[in-house]
Structures are given as C-alpha cells and as structure tokens.
C-alpha cells in the first residue's frame, strides 16, 4: 500500500511556526491521515461492508463514541523549541516519544523567554495555578520584565564563566533558570494528540503553552482535517455533564420546545436520537 499523502500536510512540512519570542513548532513528518483512520476502522467490519460509506460520518461516529484505536494509526512528529517551564508541563503527557536537547552534551544558547509587559498579571485568587485578569500598573509591569531580564543576563554570564573555567557542562548549567529555551523531537499518535490539545488549548492552561497548542492544532488539522473537525465538535467545544448536572438540566428544560428545535436543527437522525438518549428522554421513532 502506498504511503498516505495529504497535500495540506505536505505543504506544512518543515515550515517554522513561530511561537513566543524565540520558540517554534515544526511538523517534520507524519504517518497517515483521515484515509488511514477510515481504513483501520473498516477492517473491523469485514471486507465488503458498506454500512458506513461516508468518511466524515464514520470519523465523526468513531470520535464521539470514543473508538480510539483507529486514531492511533495516525502519527505526527514535531521539532519543538520552548522555554523549559513549558517543556516541564509538556512532559506530563507521557503517551508520546521524545528526545530533548541535553545541557550535559551541549552548551546552552543565550535564549530566554521574556514575557511581554501585557502578560504580567497578579496571582489569581480563584485559580491557584493561574493569573488574574485584574489590571496591573504599568510601573509594576516594567519592573517585573526588567527584573526577569536582569536575572537571565546574570545567570547566563555566570554559566559562561564556569564553562570558561573548565567546569563540567552538567554542573555549570544547574543555576540556569526555567526561562531558558530547550528543544526536542516529539512523536505522538492522533488520539493522544487530541488529548494534549483538549488540555493545552483550554483557557485554564498557562498562556504560553496555549500558544504552542494553537500551533500544534494547525498541524493536526492539516494532517487529518475530518478528524480535527470531529474533535472540535465533540471534544474541544463540547462539554461533559455529571449525573447531578444532567438531572438539573432535565428538570429545567422544556421538552416540547427541545423536540421542535431538534427536528429543525439539521442534525442527522442518529445525532438527534443520541441527544434524546443522553438526556434520558423517550425516542418514539428510532429512525428519527
């Protein structure tokens, strides 16, 4: 079987997508695309089965019903450059394969992330790991940026001094700050990439890693546009309800109005039926 080729992805290969002040995302290779997802899924039905003919509908069905293995057939490989504090969050996603730049072997470059003044925020009082949206005085913003920049200059000068004295690279590096840039090659299948994007494109995620999420999403969309469309519909812009939340919704909705809106919605019959089933409402006509 010939290797799957996706023109939009081929056009993006090795293109540098700039992120933050010195970072980037590069798609260096990919395996498969929407066609591979469809091929992998239809193997399960046996040759000649035509019950799910349309690729978009099949991929949408697979994703919304969490049939994940066909999406694992698609693999993307990236070359990434990011601040170390972003990399430490990135490595929480343990379902990928990676090789990172090593300061034991290489002299680290004098490249640090410095936030723009409008990225300086107070600590949020409601989100322990995030920033507040409250206004910060310009004087404080400037002082924060200057303080960070001075600390970066000082730490790198000390690092260079230790190297000049012949100190081992693995020791000279230990005081370098988290703002220092690192690089890695990162390979991940599409199912786990969608999990990464669900978390890292969410508004709760740190702004800096969200910027990388947007660039990674552009690559995923190029490789598998139908799968990405389904991901946006059911995961990225969808929401899950707990049992108690669902009970509250059931008690508050106008069932007659819902059924009227549903009939006029343009959703496929299977999607209309699934919505009624999710809400625990009767499905009078299984085909409607």
Catalytic machinery residues:
200
- Token digits of residue 162: 């230790």
Which H helix or E strand runs over 152? Answer: helix 138-164
8 A C-beta contact, residue 52 and residue 38: no
Contact 74, 41 (CB under 8 A): no
Chain-centroid distance, C-alpha 101:
22
Inter-axis angle of helices 269-278 and 255-263, to 10 degrees?
160
Distances (CA, A) of 64 to 61, 188, 191: 5, 21, 12
Assess contact for 25 and 4: CB atoms under 8 A.
no
CB atoms within 10 A of CB 156: 19
- Closest by CA to 35, choosing from 11, 12, 1, is 1
Pairwise CA distance, residues 232 & 222, whole Å: 14
DSSP string, 18-70: EETTTEEEEEEEEE--HHHHHHHHHHTT-TT--SS--HHHHHHHHHHTT--GG
Residue with tokens 């990439």: 193
Collapsing DSSP to helix, strand or coil, 15 comes out as coil
Residues in the chain, overall count: 288
Instruction: Decide: 169 and 103 in contact? Cβ < 8 Å.
Output: yes
Q: Is 288 helix (H, G, I), strand (E, B) or coil?
A: coil
């Amino acid at each position: 079987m010939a290797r799957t080729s996706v023109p939009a992805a081929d056009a993006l290969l090795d293109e540098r997508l700039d992120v933050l002040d010195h970072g980037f995302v590069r798609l260096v290779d990919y395996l498969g695309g929407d066609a591979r997802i469809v091929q992998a899924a239809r193997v399960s039905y046996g040759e000649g089965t035509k019950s799910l003919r349309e690729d978009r509908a099949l991929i949408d069905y697979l994703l919304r019903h969490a049939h994940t293995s066909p999406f694992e057939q698609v693999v993307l490989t990236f070359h990434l450059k990011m601040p170390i504090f972003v990399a430490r969050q990135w490595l929480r996603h343990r379902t990928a394969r990676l090789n990172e730049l090593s300061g034991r072997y290489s002299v680290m470059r004098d490249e640090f992330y410095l936030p723009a003044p409008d990225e300086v925020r107070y600590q949020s009082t409601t989100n322990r790991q995030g920033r507040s949206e409250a206004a910060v005085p310009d004087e404080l913003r400037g002082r924060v940026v200057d303080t960070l920049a001075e600390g970066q200059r000082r730490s790198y000068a000390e690092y260079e001094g230790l190297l000049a004295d012949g100190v081992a690279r693995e020791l000279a590096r230990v005081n370098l700050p988290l703002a220092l840039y690192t690089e890695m090659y990162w390979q991940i299948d599409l199912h786990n990439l969608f999990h990464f994007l669900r978390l890292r494109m969410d508004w709760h995620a740190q702004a800096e890693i969200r910027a990388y999420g947007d660039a990674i999403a552009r690559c995923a969309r190029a490789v598998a546009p139908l799968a990405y469309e389904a991901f946006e519909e059911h995961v990225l812009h969808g929401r899950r309800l707990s049992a108690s939340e669902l009970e509250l919704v059931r008690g508050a909705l106008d069932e007659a109005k819902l059924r009227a809106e549903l009939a006029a919605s343009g959703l496929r019959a299977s999607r209309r039926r699934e919505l009624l089933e999710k809400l625990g409402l009767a499905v009078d006509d299984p085909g409607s």
